[in-house]
Amino acid sequence: MSANEVLHAGLNLGATDPKTHAEAGSAIFGFWVFLMTDAVLFALLFANYGVLLSGTAGGPGPAAEFKLSSAFIETLLLLTSSFTFGLASLAMKHGSQPRLLQVWLPTTLLLGAGFLGMELHDFATMLSDGATPSRSGFLSAFFALVSTHGLHVFAGCVWIIVMMVQIAVFGTDARVKINVLRLGLFWHFLDIIWVAIFSVVYLQGLIR
Amino acid sequence: MTETRGVWHLLLGNLTYNALPFYSAIAAFAAGLVVVGAISVFVLITWLGKWRYLWTEWFTSVDHKRIGIMYIIIAFIMMSRALIEAVLMRVQQAVAINSPGFLPPDHFGQLFSTHGTIMIFFMAMPFLTGLINYVMPLQIGARDVKFPLLNSISLWLTGGGAGLMMVSLVLGKFSTGGWSGYPPYTGIEFSPGVGPDYWIWAVSLSSIGTTLTGLNFATTIYKGRAPGMTLMRMPLFCWTSLCTSILMIFAMPPLTVATTLLALDRYLGMHFFTNGMGGNMMNYANLFWLFGHPEVYILILPAFGVYSEVIPAFSSKRLYGYTSLVCATMAIAVLSFTVWLHHFFTMGQSANINAAFGIATMTIGVPTGVKVYDWLLTMCRGRVRFTPPMLFSLAFIVSFVIGGMTGIILATPPLDYMVHNTVFLVAHFHNMLIPGLLYGMIAGYQYWFPKAFGFRLNETWGRIAFGCWVVGFYLAFMPLYVLGAEGMPRRSQEVFDTAYRPWLLIAMVGAFILLAGLVSLFIQLRVSIKQRDSNRVFAGDPWDGRGLEWSVSAPPPEYNFAVIPTVTSRDTFAGQKEHGQAYHPPQTYQDIEMPKNSAAGVVIGISGAACAFGLVWHIWWMSILGLILIWGTVIVRSFVRDIYKVIPAAEVARTEARWLNHVANVRAVPRELETTPANKGLAESVA
Ligand code: HEM
Ligand SMILES: [Cu+2]
């Protein structure tokens, strides 16, 4: 088996660390399967949202509540954070010193936290408008979908912090590397889900 | 006064003296039994001084074999409870003809809900997960599953859910919403008590555990096979395990979503499934059955796998139509996602949609039929021996065909309109689940037991159990077809037509015989343990088996294979025996690295159960603590670096030499003596 063989989808460590690369094969495959279960979960929340879209029960509807400007900035934050995470992964794979990793991971964390802050602010505005999750089926579905994504981003942020500590403690040993690869997949996955939320929830909300 | 109530509420939430089950003598008795049982187990273990042993050898073990056994123990315990509940229901219906009987409606409602929930989530799922756990890694030539610790976490999450079910017997009342928990009935408006909350969290714990199990098994099968073990060389049990795992991966998330959204409705007043306010209960029906239908194939495929192992072994032939069986299994797995709507033909969609789903449903009969022929042809001209696993397999084939026929009836929408919500349906799904799933699990348990424990099970008691399970099943469920056709509704606490009486009496007798079947299994275990010294099969191959699992000692060493085998054909071990290549020691042994024990699984499972219990009773500190403990454990564990232990080559060599010496010194047994003490686990080669 050549060290450059692609053992799993996504960024492979390959010849830069053949031993960890071999281990990563099944570790990362397993994580892809996990992401698949997560994707099913989101798919169902999207479907649920689609069905309940008209269930506003006389309460606030999409057009009144969604602010495209802040959703757009949130999108930019998250997309940029995916980019910086990509840089972190590359730094881990190729960099001779893990210092860059300790630059790009915190940057990603900051962007993620910024996203969460803005999202919470949006939620707070909605709640003060009386658009609470218990107001109507539509709002229940909206909050279920968007805050499930938000919770995932939160979990991702905690995970980044844990990884930063581990890099400080262990350097980039095999387990750290594999976990950063997993975290990367997770982070990019959330980005894709967000793009879907932006299109299905926010953009569609505008034309209603 | 309010002050003390405040503190009380903070500490114990809604839990008060009223939660104790003094509303009915039977409920109080059952609760007493659980409490006394739990205390006596605790005292017994303490008295025997076995806590340390249990903790180090079992609870914290990440060995797939131990985990598999623990799953099956959970299954048997929970089956005992659910079967007793079934008998209670049968007796109630038999006596409650124009009279209230001995179970009040509310209690009867709890009984069918707990019976269904337990049988599916805490009997069937642990049983099949346990069997796959034990057997699959051995069959593919692996030392463990790919994520051993995750395996332990799944086990303990399932155990936590089962524990919550048992607690619900003592504190508070369970849901009366059935195993499917349909809102709006299970919503806060119509079921304000804690019942549906118990149901939601017990099922959620189990569904999360099962998702992780599916992920683990699928990765193991895709990435952990021995060299040369191509997919098309895998034993069929591995194929059905793979398909079941794939179904778990895709079908459990819908259940998690359904229960979580229902919980949000109940706890936070949201409107996913409520009447009015924009809610839509059809979403629940779709989510639940998007899980529910694949679930029945999650249940049945592993049993198909067992039959595909047992029948060739006890016919001394290779499996007929391997490729067609693989294709049929895959076809069933895929089709199972296209039929969920047949669970609610009567809930208002158009006739065309019903027709499409009805046809899709019937299509599944085709691959299933293929399988039946393959099994029959495997036996054809084989040396068939009627051992208990084989008997269960034969009973399965006949009974399952009957159940399949009634399935076709139910898949025809106009006919379904006639019999839906009657006991005809109850008869149908028990007809699929008892022969389809349970016989398979029992057959697998009897077949692989000698592998796991090193001695054979008693045949006589196996036959008695078989007789009870078959006679009992027919007596208990055939009458329900008649009753259903006559229009008796399911879930009835009282019935009002005296014409039902004879049939209900027969069904009641059948239920008692089924209970006797379970008791016979326990007696069999007890008797077999007593006689173990004359039935040892340490050499490891009591049935002249064909797969790799039989090529190691019984019980297998912790590392399974001293040297990972290289596979050159299907039925590897049979081939090795044929060519005189079995039982050859390798040139050298090497150190073997195995995962160390970990308490993480136990901690996560118990914290999960505590979190769930807190949610049920609104004891918020407990829920928050549970959540913190779960994620804290995950994070702390990610810092642990010392996770492997090494079994030195010398020790491996000693273990293997002891076994190979034994093999060299025992007499090989011909097939006609395989059920006698002459069977030492070495099969006579057939020239
Ligand atoms: C072994 C003997 C068994 C007996 C005597 C038995 C008996 C019963 C009875 C009397 C009911 C209530 C029927 C009604 O609604 O009128 C019932 C329901 C049910 N049983 Fe069983 N059962 C047995 C085994 C099983 C097994 C092995 C499974 C699944 C693996 C199972 C799953 C269910 C389910 C899902 C329900 C529906 C509960 C509901 O209405 O929500 N049962 N059973
Ligand atoms: Cu179905």
Q: What is the pLDDT of residues B19-37, one digit of tens each?
A: 888 878 888 999 999 999 9
Q: Is residue A131 part of a domain?
A: yes
Q: Is residue A42 part of a domain?
A: yes
Q: Is residue A58 part of a domain?
A: no
**Cβ-based neighbours of A111, under 8 Å, separated by 6 or more:** A77, A78, A80, A81, A84
Q: Which residues of A touch B279 (CB under 8 A)?
A: 52, 55, 137, 140
- Beta carbon of B119 within 6 Å of any ligand 1 atom: yes
- Beta carbon of B199 within 6 Å of any ligand 1 atom: no
Q: Is residue A187 part of a domain?
A: yes
Please tell me the predicted confidence (pLDDT) of residue A151.
98
Min distance A74 CA to chain B CA atoms (Å):
26
**Top-level class of domain B50-475+482-536:** mainly alpha
Could you count the other beta carbons within 10 Å of the beta carbon of residue B299?
Answer: 24
Please tell me the predicted confidence (pLDDT) of residue A14.
87
* Contact (Cβ atoms closer than 8 angstroms) between residue B259 and residue B616: no
What 3-state DSSP class applies to B98?
A: coil
Closest CA to B449 of B384, B524, B372: B524
Q: Is residue A3 part of a domain?
A: no
Q: How far does residue B289's CA lie from ligand 2's centre (Å)?
A: 7
Mean pLDDT of B656-679: 94
Q: Which residue lies with its CA nearest to atom 33 of ligand 1?
A: B116
Closest CA to B130 of B64, B214, B63: B64
Domain containing A152 — which CATH number? 1.20.120.80
- A6 in contact with B at a CB cutoff of 8 Å? no
Mean pLDDT of B546-559: 95
- A44 in contact with B at a CB cutoff of 8 Å? yes
Please tell me the predicted confidence (pLDDT) of residue B4.
58
Closest CA to B255 of B218, B201, B301, B292: B292
Q: Please tell me which residue of chain A has the smallest CA distance to B256.
A: A41
* Contact (Cβ atoms closer than 8 angstroms) between residue B562 and residue B683: no
| Cα–Cα distance, A12 to A34 (Å, whole number) | 18
Cβ-based contacts under 8 A for chains A and B: 110
- A168 in contact with B at a CB cutoff of 8 Å? no
Identity of residue B15: L
Q: How far does residue B462's CA lie from ligand 2's centre (Å)?
A: 32
Q: Is residue A183 part of a domain?
A: yes
- Locate the domains of chain B by residue range: 50-475+482-536
For the stretch B177-231, pLDDT in tens is 999 999 999 999 999 999 999 999 999 999 999 999 999 999 999 999 999 999 9
For the stretch A144-167, pLDDT in tens is 999 999 999 999 999 999 999 999
Handedness of CA B390, B393, B399, B401 (dihedral sign): negative
How confident is the prediction for chain B on average, in pLDDT? Answer: 95
CA B499 to chain centre: 37
Q: Which residues of A touch B282 (CB under 8 A)?
A: 51
Please tell me the predicted confidence (pLDDT) of residue A64.
86
The conformation of residue A203, written as its DSSP 8-state character, comes to: I
- A24 in contact with B at a CB cutoff of 8 Å? no
Beta strands in A35-185 (DSSP E): none
Please tell me the predicted confidence (pLDDT) of residue B455.
97
Token readout for B652 is 């491996």
For the stretch A79-94, pLDDT in tens is 999 999 999 999 998 8
Percent of chain A predicted with pLDDT > 70: 97
Percent of chain B predicted with pLDDT > 90: 94
Could you count the other beta carbons within 10 Å of the beta carbon of residue B588?
Answer: 8
Could you tell me which residues are beta bridge partners of residue B647?
Answer: B592
CA B521 to chain centre: 16
Residue A144 domain boundaries: 16-52+69-206
For the stretch B388-399, pLDDT in tens is 999 999 999 999
Q: Best substitution site from B255, B425, B426, B441 to test ligand 1's pocket, by max atoms within 8 Å of Cβ?
A: B426
| Cα–Cα distance, B193 to B185 (Å, whole number) | 12
The conformation of residue B592, written as its DSSP 8-state character, comes to: E
Token readout for B134 is 């034990």
Closest-lying ligand to the alpha carbon of B174? 1
pLDDT at B686 over 70: no
Mean pLDDT of B54-80: 97
Cβ–Cβ gap B269/A134 under 8 Å: yes
What is the total count of domains within chain A? 1
Q: Which residue lies with its CA nearest to atom 28 of ligand 1?
A: B119
Mean pLDDT of B134-148: 97
Burial class (CB in 10 A: 0-12, 13-18, 19+), A32: middle
Is 0.90 exceeded by the ipTM? yes
Please tell me the predicted confidence (pLDDT) of residue A63.
86
Please tell me the predicted confidence (pLDDT) of residue B687.
44
For the stretch B489-524, pLDDT in tens is 999 999 999 999 999 999 999 999 999 999 999 999
b/e code B335-346 from CB counts within 10 Å (16+ = b): bbeebbbbbbbe
pLDDT at A177 over 50: yes
Please tell me the predicted confidence (pLDDT) of residue A16.
86
Q: Is residue A62 part of a domain?
A: no
Mean pLDDT of B271-291: 95
Could you count the other beta carbons within 10 Å of the beta carbon of residue B43?
Answer: 10
